[in-house]
Amino acid sequence: MPGNDLLSYALDIGEQMLISGAEVSRVEDSISRICNAYHAKRVDVFTITSSIVVTIQTQEGETCTQTRRIHKYNTDLDRLDKLNGLSRYICKNTPELSYIDDQLKKLREDKPYGPYVQYLIFAMISGSFTMFFGGSLRDGIVSALVGMLSKLLLRFVQRADKNVVFVNLLCSFVIGTLTVLSVYAGIGMDFEKIAIGNIMLLIPGIALTNSLRDLISGDTIAGLLRLCEAVVIALSVAIGFGLASAIFGGIL
């Protein structure tokens, strides 16, 4: 069994799964199953939100260890579904490693939705949540426009700084300011309803859900780390909107 090459491809799959939004237990299980499918004698996998460490022992007695550092996340459930499908195919058919390499290259070449589609999605989400929480159609339209601007802002800020806390703090402050100004100008009607529609764009819902799943499945360290990350991001969003409301709220 080509230990190092197999381990590298298994880690590639696990890394992309974790980045795309998979919980820790799924990543560990997928890597273990792939290595066992190629008759690894022993597989030890340790995964947290920022690192994956895998050690395998081959039938020939060779021991291989590799580590991957995870620097960022980019939730993509479509890619995650494809990675799950690829993992199941590998475990069932044990293809040549060249096949795995080709499939991973195809996944890397897949392009996400274009910027204009993403603007439309942000507009639909923010506008829908505003109306869901009791806002008027007028508030929904204003919220949709602010949502499009928030996506534009996110694109530029994330290019300059990858710090999740700073990005969410700055974006929530700017979005809150735009919301206040839209109500002050008479375009919007209800600041709270417009604000909550756009807050939902920044809430780390998947991170919070995965943290609870990790805790329930026994991955305590990973669950606590992800939970702390989700709480810090939520606090940064709340602080950003709170600052905008405190500074500019007096003009309403």
Query: For each successive 10 residues of the chain (252 residues), what is the average pLDDT?
Result: 80 92 89 90 89 88 88 84 93 90 88 82 90 88 89 80 81 87 84 87 84 84 87 90 79 56
Specify the pLDDT at position 252.
Answer: 54
The count of domains in the chain is 2
Q: Do residue 121 and residue 224 come from a single domain? A: yes
Q: Do residue 102 and residue 130 come from a single domain? A: no
Q: Do residue 81 and residue 133 come from a single domain? A: no
Specify the pLDDT at position 2.
Answer: 61
CB 182 within 8 A of CB 146: yes
Q: Do residue 102 and residue 155 come from a single domain? A: no
Q: Do residue 126 and residue 97 come from a single domain? A: no
Give the CB-side neighbour count of residue 137, counting CA atoms within 13 A: 0
Asked which of 63, 81, 109 is the last residue of a domain, the reply is 109
Specify the pLDDT at position 215.
Answer: 86
How far, in Å, CA of 24 to CA of 47, rounded? 6
Q: Do residue 190 and residue 86 come from a single domain? A: no
Q: Do residue 97 and residue 135 come from a single domain? A: no
* Domain region containing 209: 115-251
Q: Do residue 41 and residue 126 come from a single domain? A: no
Asked which of 74, 109, 144 is the last residue of a domain, the reply is 109
Asked which of 109, 130, 161 is the last residue of a domain, the reply is 109
Please provide residue 144's backbone torsions phi and psi, each rounded to the nearest 5 degrees: -65, -40
- Output the DSSP codes for the chain: --HHHHHHHHHHHHHHHHHHT--HHHHHHHHHHHHHHTT-SEEEEEEETTEEEEEEE-TTS-EEEEEEE-------HHHHHHHHHHHHHHHHH---HHHHHHHHHHHHH-----HHHHHHHHHHHHHHHHHHTT--HHHHHHHHHHHHHHHHHHHHHHHH---HHHHHHHHHHHHHHHHHHHHHTTS-S-HHHHHHHHHTTT--HHHHHHHHHHHHTT-HHHHHHHHHHHHHHHHHHHHHHHHHHHHHGGG-
Q: Do residue 105 and residue 128 come from a single domain? A: no
Q: Do residue 104 and residue 168 come from a single domain? A: no
Q: Do residue 199 and residue 222 come from a single domain? A: yes
Q: Do residue 89 and residue 135 come from a single domain? A: no
